[in-house]
Chain A
């Protein structure tokens, strides 16, 4: 089975703090990590490869240093990594991102299965997976919590819903987005780490993937961010005083409107 996993490099949430003085995201000491949901997508790809044979390619769009997440993916069992990187992609919204990833996938070649995370923890939209499936003209199923059965031709899956879950069957090729419940990602093995160290990655530009300049970056993005501002500040924490019992009494009064 030929599997492509889309992985995004994102700033680690524990470093993402809004500087209250400047109202900007802190830039110092911000570590980049593989988007948490993508780790479950990668693990599932490797599990399927172990079960059914085949190969796993990881694909990322981002700045040159995004090869770090590709390298990490190799240590976790991926076979190949491809980075699409070009200043021309800057400012891409989810439409332009989906278009660019689709073009890169056409360049990579055949596939049976595409896996994405449910959403990236920075942009937070959960729109790239479905968009990419449309661009590739294949069906998609989002929020997969379990792979019940897998064969070369068909998958039986559980998709998480707000009030329960649906069990669906779909033949390949298909694109899936995954949630955390799916599996427990492995720790890199020593062999994996060695492989990752030596791994080389294909880096593709806009021209390499044959992208139309009107469909990438800012020009290819139907949405446009016009302003960015901090969330409304939370009020000061009200101080409850006295014994614990007295505090609880005050609390009940304060929250009485909701009860």
Chain B
């Protein structure tokens, strides 16, 4: 699974150490001049334009920005669903891709699938549950692909459903659940494999404000339990739950600031 490269081994330790010494935090994700460019005929769309970014373990980040600014593109690249066109992406100790070196380094499909399976928990605006499968089966899916034996799966699924207060809905299909409940099933699916990071792309975008608040309670709780959470949102009061707020504009990071309401003793970012 690991992509070993001399570059990583040679270059990394000092930098990581340096960072850790400064902040007292462990680096989880590192973006180094990442761009994602779409070539549409003659037109060039810079969905992400030279972004450098470091995300630490147990960060709670909100990403805001106008429509089309590149928020989803950023999330998809972090989530290993998409590949940047240039830059270096490092996840934990592994280089997911290095598009800059003379010889492009890229994880293969199986390695990417494995990261998505074990390290990433995705929550989408449109829930993205399998319509014919029950809540239980939906939550079970990542565990099946992880090759976890049946009895262990059952335990984990029931625990995840309990964590989102849906233990009594495990046999319901998505159509038999409310929007908020569907999103909670999706959250249970995202966290069932104990991922390194939870990526939520407008998780409350399809929900009313009451249900949104409910969902945010769970995300706050996940962060409190030492999970790393990134949430994309258009709503400032949702973004205010996060401890670090990033604003994106035209594929570039416009602002990256500490949420002072949440953190009394800000650390240097």
- Report if A and B associate in a common complex: no
**Which residues in B have some Cβ–Cβ distance to A below 8 Å?**
none
| A interface, CB within 8 angstroms of B | none
